[in-house]
């Protein structure tokens, strides 16, 4: 895969990227009128909002009609099970009609934090889309992936990744 270009948001949208309560209010107000392309640019900008502002934005973005926009919103947020509102948003993501969105929160760059990657039987018990999410963004996990592939070959799993 080629190197990704730096993400730049058009000048007329820069006002929406302020990491303040006023900036997030403007972004949420404008969100439904933005094209999916501009929504994707904003989501890829990976803004550093305080947690409560990021949560408000994610609630809005996850309502998009575009599954890829919902996926990016779901992928780029951390939701704990301790906060009632975050738990509700997490359930909404998990019930999304698109598997790309449903399993977005399973993506991680770090393999050692994911016990499913260390236990092949658990990994292969997951739905195919969940397995794809678990390996989609990994870096530096060559041995873990090799072990999963070896296990799949040895146990004749039909679709191993």
Question: Is residue 7 domain-resident?
Answer: no
Question: Is residue 5 domain-resident?
Answer: no
**CA pair distance 10, 28, nearest whole angstrom:** 17
Alpha helices in 95-141 (DSSP H): 99-102, 115-118, 120-125, 128-136
Is 40 in contact with 32 (CB distance < 8 Å)? no
Specify the 3-state DSSP secondary structure of 66.
Answer: coil
pLDDT of residue 62: 95
The overall average pLDDT reported for the chain is 84
Within this chain, do residues 97 and 25 fall inside the same structural domain, yes or no?
Answer: yes
More confident residue, 35 or 148: 35
Within this chain, do residues 44 and 122 fall inside the same structural domain, yes or no?
Answer: no
Choose one of 101, 124, 142: the last residue of a domain.
Answer: 101
Question: Is residue 74 domain-resident?
Answer: yes
Q: What average pLDDT score do residues 100-110 get?
A: 88
Total structural domains within the chain = 2
Q: Kindly tell me if the per-residue pLDDT of 114 is higher than 90.
A: no
- Residues sharing a CB contact under 8 Å with residue 129, sequence separation 6 or more, in sequence order: 99, 100, 102, 103
**CA pair distance 123, 157, nearest whole angstrom:** 11
- Residues sharing a CB contact under 8 Å with residue 9, sequence separation 6 or more, in sequence order: 17, 38, 41, 42, 45
pLDDT of residue 4: 45
Question: Is residue 2 domain-resident?
Answer: no
pLDDT of residue 2: 44
Q: Where residue 1 falls among pLDDT bands split at 50, 70, 90?
A: very low
Q: What average pLDDT score do residues 10-28 get?
A: 88
The share of the chain scoring above pLDDT 90, in percent, equals 35
Residue 94's domain spans which residues? 12-101
């Amino acid at each position: 895969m080629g190197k990704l270009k730096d993400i730049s948001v058009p000048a007329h949208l820069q006002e929406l990227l302020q990491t303040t309560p006023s900036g997030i209010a403007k972004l949420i107000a404008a969100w439904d009128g933005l094209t999916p392309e501009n929504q994707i640019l904003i989501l890829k900008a990976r803004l550093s909002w305080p947690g409560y502002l990021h949560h408000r934005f994610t609630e809005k973005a996850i309502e998009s009609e575009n599954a890829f926009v919902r996926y990016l919103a779901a992928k780029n947020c951390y939701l704990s099970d301790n906060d009632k509102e975050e738990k509700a948003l997490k359930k909404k993501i998990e019930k999304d009609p698109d598997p790309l969105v449903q399993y977005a929160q399973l993506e991680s760059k770090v393999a050692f934090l994911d016990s499913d990657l260390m236990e092949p039987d658990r990994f292969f018990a997951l739905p195919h889309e969940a397995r794809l999410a678990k390996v989609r963004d990994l870096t530096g996990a060559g041995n873990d992936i090799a072990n999963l592939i070896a296990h799949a070959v040895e146990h004749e799993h039909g679709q191993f990744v």
